[in-house]
Amino acid sequence: MNSKEVEKKIIENYQKDENMMILIFAQWCVNHDLNPIEIYQKAYPSQEENAALKQMVDLTVPKEEAGEIANDTLMSVLSLYGNEDLAFVITEEILKMKKSDR
């Protein structure tokens, strides 16, 4: 493989992994009765529509069919991709859930 092919492969792998991160986020939201697009907009209010997010939301399944996604798992995945603003909003949502469970 030449350097252009290697670079292209790296970019493709990053995009696949990023889509997986988005899908994990979106499914976590669905599992907790949250709208992933609304949560994302809270974190990034000035950002325009996120096509990748919409695409991944379409791939989510009802929470009854989904596996558990631990809060720590979501936070780790968000951290890997530098989504600190989104992680902050998710943390706030987790705290709200814990308060309502009391």
Alpha-carbon 21 to chain mean position: 5
Predicted pLDDT of residue 3: 86
Predicted pLDDT of residue 61: 97
CA distances from 98 to 4, 64, 66, 83, 93 (A): 49, 21, 21, 22, 9
For the stretch 18-73, pLDDT in tens is 899 999 999 999 999 999 999 999 999 999 889 999 999 999 999 999 999 999 99
- Residue 71 and residue 18 in contact, taking contact as beta carbons nearer than 8 Å: no
For the stretch 8-18, pLDDT in tens is 888 887 788 88
pLDDT surpasses 90 at 102: no
Amino acid at site 40: Y
Predicted pLDDT of residue 11: 80
CA–CA gap between residue 37 and residue 63 (Å, rounded) = 16
CA distances from 26 to 7, 34, 99 (A): 29, 9, 22
